[in-house]
């Protein structure tokens, strides 16, 4: 028996089903902002606990059954689902859809794969329902106090949802960190890329930490001081800030630096891999994100690491670091440059996704809604918005005048860091891959010409010429004459 009276019908502005931490915090955030919030969970104990612990946050309308939950919503109804991605989400969608009417809105605020969101949106649209896949970033704290919110779905659904979401979202300089991203799966697509960028940011920060630790022999807490200092400049961001905090943490059991007692195997729930898989399908080189994702995989490749450890030699001679302060300064610049490349690549993926799926995504707005609330919130996101305002057709973020200037200043330091790491035998997958990308994308000419020749040699895959239109093939096994293949 639930320890609350049944809620009245047609009363709540919005409902949330799924009362784990993210769902209950989102519901509390809505309630604290004056919305009447219906809440529900598969097992009623969690709903009871939210009421018992946080009932005073605002007006909650708890329900034990999904029927009562739906009935308690004002029409057109809005119900947010905050349950596990995949099967559990599909199950709850079916339960809600069976009880809803045309014009009602179902919101999936979990980290769903955008292609699932597109499928669900299409199925519910056929029933006259709106399905809104929405990215929500900021973790537990953000959900409660102001996340960055990235809703997809119809414009019509945003007319109903937007005012509520913009009220509960983080707010930077008077602007809410929420906007209508685009149709169907656009919101989850953008959230996916956000997470990919998050992976790259986290990895490159960790590479800088690793170099300070191994090349300079600095303690975790000393490195924490460096990150705290970096957080006062161009690198200012949530992830740099928490890195400083984490590195200053001492393990209560051993008295050692906390980071030193953590097993060095990074887990992943899948959004980084989705970003890379999608980028491969769209043909977008998100090399920084890919290397960051694979770096987690390498860390978790336990049998391979055991087989290699102590067997495969480094054959490396770490160059002497005469000026430690200069080395740290180089790391700061390299970190900034690598970060700029990761963001530039991420925005390329959003642009490619928008193009492919027909979404009208404003790239500058995406940077704007990431300025607060989300995990990758950072000072320089303003500069990205400005770059897209200067030129809405910007083909490459790095080619914007501001970013070109910024990255140019970092190049010598970035090269020294990558060269040092390679010579010393220290892995820097994101530092190195982003530098390689930088040198590739700016190259006058790439060795791809040779790849094309090889493809034509063994597979008659044809090639194009620099000096004439058309596609051609060489009779490699015959007289090696060239023939035009396209008519």
Torsion angle, alpha carbons of 78, 84, 88, 94, to 10: 10
Q: Is 375 in the site for ligand 6PG (CB under 6 A)?
A: yes
d(C-alpha 211, C-alpha 420), whole Å: 9
d(C-alpha 245, C-alpha 209), whole Å: 13
The residue range among 131-139, 170-178, 305-313, 477-485 that interacts with ligand 6PG, by the rule CB under 6 A, is 131-139
Q: Is 84 in the site for ligand 6PG (CB under 6 A)?
A: no
For ligand 6PG, the binding residue among 48, 64, 198, 406 (CB under 6 A) is: 198
Our CB check for ligand 6PG shows the closer of 72 and 179 to be 179
Torsion angle, alpha carbons of 269, 270, 272, 274, to 10: -160
366 close to 377: Cβ distance less than 8 angstroms: no
| Residue 349 beta carbon to ligand 6PG: minimum distance, rounded to whole angstroms | 16
Our CB check for ligand 6PG shows the closer of 47 and 195 to be 195
Our CB check for ligand 6PG shows the closer of 63 and 275 to be 275
For ligand 6PG, the binding residue among 24, 117, 195, 275 (CB under 6 A) is: 195
Q: Is 287 in the site for ligand 6PG (CB under 6 A)?
A: no
- Point out the residues that are catalytic: 191, 198
Helix 401-424 × helix 186-216 angle, to 10°: 50
Cβ atoms within 10 Å of 333's Cβ, excluding its own: 21
Our CB check for ligand 6PG shows the closer of 21 and 302 to be 21
DSSP states of 371-391: SSSSTT-BTTHHHHHHHHHH-
d(C-alpha 296, C-alpha 294), whole Å: 5
Q: Please tell me the count of residues contacting ligand 6PG according to CB under 6 A.
A: 12
The residue range among 10-18, 135-143, 388-396, 450-458 that interacts with ligand 6PG, by the rule CB under 6 A, is 135-143
Q: Is 197 in the site for ligand 6PG (CB under 6 A)?
A: no
144 close to 133: Cβ distance less than 8 angstroms: no
Residue 373 to residues 180, 199, 310, 344, 419: CA-CA distances in angstroms? Answer: 16, 17, 44, 21, 36
User: Which residue in this structure is represented by tokens 């649209």?
Assistant: 125
Q: Is 137 in the site for ligand 6PG (CB under 6 A)?
A: yes
| Residue 186 beta carbon to ligand 6PG: minimum distance, rounded to whole angstroms | 17
Our CB check for ligand 6PG shows the closer of 257 and 374 to be 374
Q: Is 145 in the site for ligand 6PG (CB under 6 A)?
A: no
d(C-alpha 371, C-alpha 172), whole Å: 7
Dmax of the chain from CA atoms?
Answer: 89
Q: Is 138 in the site for ligand 6PG (CB under 6 A)?
A: yes
Q: Is 88 in the site for ligand 6PG (CB under 6 A)?
A: no
User: Which residue in this structure is represented by tokens 């022999």?
Assistant: 217
Our CB check for ligand 6PG shows the closer of 62 and 142 to be 142
The residue range among 118-126, 136-144, 165-173, 424-432 that interacts with ligand 6PG, by the rule CB under 6 A, is 136-144
The residue range among 179-187, 264-272, 285-293, 402-410 that interacts with ligand 6PG, by the rule CB under 6 A, is 264-272
φ, ψ for residue 154 (rounded to 5)?
-75, 155
Cβ atoms within 10 Å of 87's Cβ, excluding its own: 9
Give residues in contact with ligand 6PG (CB under 6 A). 111, 137-139, 195, 198, 268-269, 271-272, 374-375
């Amino acid at each position: 028996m639930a320890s609350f009276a049944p809620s009245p019908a047609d009363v709540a502005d919005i409902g949330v089903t799924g009362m784990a931490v993210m769902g209950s915090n989102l519901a509390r955030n809505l309630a604290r902002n004056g919305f009447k919030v219906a809440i529900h969970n598969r097992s009623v104990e969690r709903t009871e606990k939210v009421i018992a612990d946080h009932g005073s946050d605002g007006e909650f309308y708890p329900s034990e059954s999904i029927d009562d939950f739906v009935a308690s919503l004002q029409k057109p109804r809005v119900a947010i689902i905050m349950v596990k991605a995949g099967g559990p989400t599909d199950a709850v969608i079916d339960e809600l859809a069976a009880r809803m009417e045309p014009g009602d809105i179902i919101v999936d605020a979990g980290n769903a794969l955008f292609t699932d969101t597109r499928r669900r949106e299409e199925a519910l649209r056929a029933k006259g329902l709106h399905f809104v896949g929405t990215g929500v970033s900021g973790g537990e704290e953000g959900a409660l106090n102001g996340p960055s919110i990235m809703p997809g779905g119809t414009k019509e659904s945003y007319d109903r949802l937007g005012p509520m979401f913009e009220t509960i979202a983080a707010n930077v300089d008077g602007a809410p960190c929420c906007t209508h991203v685009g149709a169907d799966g656009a919101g989850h697509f953008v959230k996916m890329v956000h997470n990919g960028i998050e992976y790259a940011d986290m990895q490159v920060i960790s590479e800088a930490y690793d170099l300070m630790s191994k090349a300079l022999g600095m303690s975790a807490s000393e490195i924490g001081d460096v990150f705290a200092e970096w957080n006062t400049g161009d690198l200012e961001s949530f992830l740099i800030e928490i890195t400083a905090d984490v590195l200053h943490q001492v393990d209560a059991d051993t008295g050692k630096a906390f980071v030193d007692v953590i097993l060095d195997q990074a887990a992943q729930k899948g959004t980084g891999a989705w970003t890379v898989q999608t980028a491969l399908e769209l043909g977008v080189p998100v090399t920084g994100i890919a290397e960051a994702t694979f770096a987690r995989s390498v860390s978790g490749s336990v049998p391979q690491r055991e087989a290699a450890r102590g067997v495969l030699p480094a054959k490396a001679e770490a160059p002497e670091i005469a000026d430690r302060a200069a080395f740290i300064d180089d790391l700061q610049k390299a970190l900034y440059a690598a970060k700029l490349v990761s963001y530039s690549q991420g925005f390329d993926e959003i642009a490619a996704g928008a193009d492919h799926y027909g979404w009208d995504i404003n790239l500058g707005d995406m940077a704007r809604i990431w300025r607060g609330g989300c995990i990758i919130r950072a000072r320089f996101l303003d500069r990205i918005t400005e770059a897209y305002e200067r030129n809405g057709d910007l083909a490459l973020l790095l080619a914007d005048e501001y970013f070109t200037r910024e990255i140019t200043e970092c190049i010598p330091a970035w090269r020294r860091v990558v060269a040092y790491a390679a010579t010393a035998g220290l892995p820097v997958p994101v530092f190195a891959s982003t530098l390689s990308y930088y040198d590739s994308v700016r190259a006058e000419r790439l060795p791809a010409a040779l790849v094309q020749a090889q493809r034509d040699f063994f597979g008659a895959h044809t090639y194009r010429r620099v000096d004439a239109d058309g596609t051609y093939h060489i009779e490699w096994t015959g007289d090696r004459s060239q023939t035009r293949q396209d008519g």
